[in-house]
Structure 1
Amino acid sequence: MRKLISTGSPFEARIGYSRAVVADGWVFVAGTTGYDYAAMVMPKGVEDQCSNALQTIEKALKEAGASLDDVVRVRYIVPDPKEWPACWPITSEAFAKARPAATMISAALQEPEMKIEIEVTARVPSA
């Protein structure tokens, strides 16, 4: 069984992707940036963007029947690696229980105001 999850972001329809895909008990959450989707604004600071991205991911996981505690893999993409340490307190709190395998990659993102993108893979507990 395959389930597609959307946040309603205009980017999902425009680009052609789902926020998350659930397949065979696995949840694959697309790279998620720090937009505040309620206001459709991007905060200036990397910390706020990191928090927003994790909140969006958490909502998608919940809809899939999982949580941040079920994440087994996380990828962080940051354009400026010097900003990455500012996110550590946020990510260590979010993944305190899961302690997933993690990678940080430094690369340009789609828009210059984007300071972090986060992608996760989780396993639904009942799978």
Structure 2
Amino acid sequence: MKRKRISSGSEFEEKIGYSRAVVQGNWVFVSGTTGYNYENMTISDDIASQTEQCLLNIKNALEQAETSLSDVVRVMYILKEASEFEKCWPVLGKYFGEIKPAATMIAAGLADEKMKIEIQVTALKN
């Protein structure tokens, strides 16, 4: 079974040495993805806007893997401040409200002070 690596073009992938996503068989593993807009390497100060951008970045990676958000079976939310999670709910509901993947939220330090949320998903292609 051949492994496919997907890049978003983020400078972080090259510097740190990882792929945005890895496809192995029918499984797609998307790395923790932040709210950076990779086209111009900017990030919003607003956690809801960061959440939206995270999911757009993830959606793009999944499309490159020939799948979609509807195939996500597991999601992990990592927030700098757990108290801000509720601000993300409307955006998360917009993308995952019908899909309802298994989910976990944890609070932890993130790699860059500007980052407020990081999202990791696993998808199973149909």
For Structure 1 versus Structure 2, the TM-score category normalised by the shorter chain is over 0.9
CA distance in 2, matches of 1:124, 1:13: 27
CA distance in 2, matches of 1:89, 1:113: 21
Match of residue 112 from structure 1:
113
Give 4+ residue runs of structure 1 displaced > 2 Å after superposition.
none
Partner AA of 2:18 in structure 1: Y
CA distance in 1, matches of 2:50, 2:89: 13
Once the two structures are superposed, what CA deviation does each residue of 1:29-81 show, in whole Å capped at 9, x if it has no partner? 00000001112111100011000000000000011111111000000000101
Match of residue 64 from structure 2:
63
TM-score w.r.t. the length of structure 2 is: 0.97
Partner AA of 1:54 in structure 2: L
Match of residue 24 from structure 1:
25
CA distance in 1, matches of 2:98, 2:69: 8
- Taking only aligned residues, the RMSD between alpha carbons, in angstroms, comes to 0.7
Q: How many residue pairs get matched?
A: 125
Gaps of 5+ in 2: none
Q: CA deviation at 1:96?
A: 2.1
Q: Percent identity?
A: 50
For the residue of structure 2 that corresponds to 1:112, the secondary structure is: coil
CA distance in 2, matches of 1:27, 1:43: 27
